[in-house]
């Protein structure tokens, strides 16, 4: 019995002693408790941020592997609202429009650059080279064979932004016939001469009143936007000479009954329609004349029909070109542009009057030289074009 009492007392004392050893001291502050506190990591590596601060620095946010909404603290969620703006801000800059929905606002495009650089000297600086040819059969011939002078010039440009419009009409004159007495109204122009075409471009005359205009001529005419034209290339004189139309009136320099007066009047109309366009005034070409028997009667400098030689009509054209602002003189009569003369005319001309395919190539090359120099795309070159270089 006594042994049982001793054993019970021993157990009570041992229990009290152990409790005293394991209980913390009441006088020791809690922040001085010795030892290292180790946080227990969960299986999914979820780190609890007790002070609600962002656990990742800014530079490491993009590298976090788990950006799911479950790991965002409640306080952060409440500051972000419904999350729409936060998601938009966090989206990478190269997010495709499909991922951002239909409300994507595209940046307004900047002003488009001109489609082609024809130089800062381009008369109408829009990146398109628009050239209108107005004249007689020298421009009109071989149109249906696609190797007329305007088409050869276009081929030399070799650019989809260079547009040639051929308004040449075979057999036409610069001046009006003597039988036409009034030019006040458009319907009074009996033939589609130079001033009539200029008035068509102005809208005073309808081309429908002229039956001799081909479908291809009408097609080119309808495409012309006058204010966008860079160059008007004008060539008349042979038919004025051949039909005996007056060369000029000293007391009426703008008379449309004369070659010089009609040329000045047409230029004035074109200037009114487009003050920026350049004019290229071309003289009639050198030629030779033969009678019905095939005998050589002389050339453009010596043969006259009573008014003056063809070379004199050409001289009037050069004088007007010299007196016209923003105008280029193209003299195919003098031998200073082309080596067309009594020694080479058989290579240049297919019927002693009209240019052959070789002549048209040389003529177009000379025009291109003038235009490119005017545009600042080529250096000045006063050398004469030689027909031998265009025979192939």
pLDDT tens figures, 183-231: 666 667 889 999 999 999 999 999 999 999 999 999 999 999 999 999 9
The CB-side HSE value for 84 (13 A sphere, CA atoms) comes to 4
What string of DSSP letters covers 315-361?
A: HHHHHHHHTSTTEEEE-SSSSSSB--STTTHHHHBSSSSSB-HHHHH
- What per-residue confidence (pLDDT) applies to 188? 76
For residue 187, what is the DSSP state?
G
- Of 66-70, 79-83, 352-356, the range with the highest mean pLDDT is 352-356
Mean pLDDT computed over 2-27? 50
CA–CA dist 24, 36 (Å, integer): 16
Using an 8 Å Cβ cutoff, are 233 and 212 in contact?
no
| β-pair partners for 165 | 132
CA–CA dist 358, 355 (Å, integer): 8
Biggest alpha carbon–alpha carbon distance for the chain: 173
Query: Is 167 a residue whose pLDDT tops 70?
Result: yes
Q: How far apart are the first and last CA of the chain?
A: 145
Alpha helices, H only, the chain: 2-22, 58-61, 74-79, 84-90, 97-100, 137-140, 149-157, 194-202, 215-223, 238-242, 259-273, 310-322, 345-348, 357-375
Is 161 exposed, middle or buried, given 0-12, 13-18 or 19+ CB atoms closer than 10 A? Answer: middle
Decide which of 4 and 236 is more confident: 236
The pTM for the full model equals 0.71
CATH superfamily of 129-335: SGNH hydrolase (3.40.50.1110)
Question: Quick one: CA torsion of 196, 199, 203, 204, rounded to 10 degrees?
Answer: -80
CA–CA dist 101, 87 (Å, integer): 13
Query: Is 45 a residue whose pLDDT tops 60?
Result: no
Mean pLDDT computed over 123-138? 96
**Token pair for 196:** 């009539």
CA-based torsion, 225, 328, 194, 336: positive or negative: negative
Q: Which residue, among 181, 179, 177, 182, has the nearest Cα to 192 in the 3D structure?
A: 177
Range from 33-37, 200-204, 291-295, 362-366 carrying the lowest mean pLDDT: 33-37
Range from 41-45, 161-165, 369-373 carrying the lowest mean pLDDT: 41-45
Decide which of 41 and 196 is more confident: 196
Residue 3 binned pLDDT confidence (cut-offs 50, 70, 90) = low
What string of DSSP letters covers 159-183?
A: -TTEEEEE---TT--SSPPTT----
**Token pair for 374:** 């005017």
């Amino acid at each position: 019995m006594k042994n049982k009492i001793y054993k019970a007392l021993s157990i009570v004392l041992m229990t009290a002693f152990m409790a005293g050893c394991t209980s913390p001291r009441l006088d020791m502050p809690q922040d001085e408790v010795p030892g290292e506190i180790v946080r227990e990591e969960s299986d999914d590596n979820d780190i609890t941020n007790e002070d609600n601060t962002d656990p990742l620095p800014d530079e490491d946010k993009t590298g976090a592997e788990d950006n799911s909404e479950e790991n965002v603290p409640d306080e952060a969620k409440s500051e972000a609202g419904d999350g729409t703006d936060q998601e938009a801000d966090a989206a990478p800059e190269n997010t495709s429009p499909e991922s951002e929905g239909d409300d994507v606002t595209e940046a307004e495009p900047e002003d488009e650059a001109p489609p082609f650089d024809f130089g800062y000297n381009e008369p109408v600086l829009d990146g398109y080279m628009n050239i209108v040819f107005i004249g007689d059969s020298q421009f009109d011939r071989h149109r249906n064979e696609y190797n007329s002078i305007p088409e050869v010039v276009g081929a030399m440009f070799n650019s989809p932004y260079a547009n040639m419009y051929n308004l040449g009409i075979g057999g036409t004159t610069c001046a009006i016939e003597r039988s036409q007495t009034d030019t006040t109204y458009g319907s009074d122009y009996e033939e589609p001469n130079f001033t009539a075409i200029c008035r068509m471009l102005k809208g005073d005359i309808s081309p429908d009143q002229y039956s001799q205009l081909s479908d291809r001529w009408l097609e080119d005419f309808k495409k012309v936007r006058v204010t966008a034209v860079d160059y008007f290339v004008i060539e008349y004189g042979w038919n004025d000479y051949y039909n005996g139309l007056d060369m000029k009136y000293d007391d009426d320099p703008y008379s449309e009954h004369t070659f010089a007066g009609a040329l000045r009047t047409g230029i004035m109309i074109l200037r009114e329609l487009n003050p920026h366009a350049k004019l290229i005034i071309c003289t009639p070409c050198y030629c030779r004349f033969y009678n019905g028997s095939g005998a050589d009667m002389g050339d453009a400098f010596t043969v006259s029909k009573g008014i003056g030689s063809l070379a004199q009509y050409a001289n009037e054209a050069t004088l007007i070109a010299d007196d016209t602002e923003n105008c280029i003189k193209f003299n195919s009569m003098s031998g200073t542009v082309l080596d067309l003369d009594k020694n080479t005319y058989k290579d240049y001309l297919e019927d002693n009057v009209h240019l052959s395919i070789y002549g048209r190539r040389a003529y177009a090359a000379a025009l291109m030289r003038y235009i490119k120099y005017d545009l600042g795309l080529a250096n000045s070159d006063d050398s004469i074009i030689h027909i031998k270089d265009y025979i192939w």
